Amino acid sequence: MAILYLKDYLGDSLFTKALHYYIRQWKGKHPMPHDFFYCMNTGSGKNLNWFWKKWFFDGGIPDLAITSAKKSGNKFDVVVTARGSRPVPVDLTIHFKDGTTQKVHRNIGVWEKGKTFITIAAPVSKPVARFVLGDTHTPDTNPKDNVYIVK
């Protein structure tokens, strides 16, 4: 999953460029994990050490939570807090009272600078029933704090 999160962060084109750089450098050789990390950094032109460290060297868990949601005009400010230390994407589903939904996605880049929470400004045009955090591809240690019911 970590590599898919990295691909989402870099975008298809840059991820492919970096991966091809790695393949060219290590074709027919015996790379170690650090070789992959260094090549992806060089091939993408980005310092991804913050990501490699949190996913492959540090202990920890992936865990996000909705800690508040406040209506302000025609939008909700939804605060998502990283309670775990592994960076995962933020996938927020807005459930409206009429039964429809709207999805908001933020890639792992929101956690790059060491933030422990982000605020998502979610524009809404109809009454909101609840906010639900996560999807089937995002691990979360404590899913009980991923739902916020709007009163």
Encode pLDDT of 10-36 as tens digits: 999 999 999 999 999 999 999 999 999
User: Which pTM does this prediction carry?
Assistant: 0.92
Provide the domain limits for residue 16: 2-57
- Integer angstrom CA distances of residue 118 from 11, 29, 81, 126: 21, 42, 7, 23
Dist. CA 117–CA 30, nearest whole Å: 40
In tens, the pLDDT along 104-122 reads 999 999 999 999 999 999 9
Same domain, 85 and 140: yes
Torsion of CA 25, 29, 35, 40, to 10 degrees: 40
* Backbone torsions φ then ψ of 45, nearest 5 degrees: 75, 20
| Cα dihedral: 21, 26, 32, 34 (round 10) | -30
Q: Tell me: do 91 and 107 sit in the same domain.
A: yes
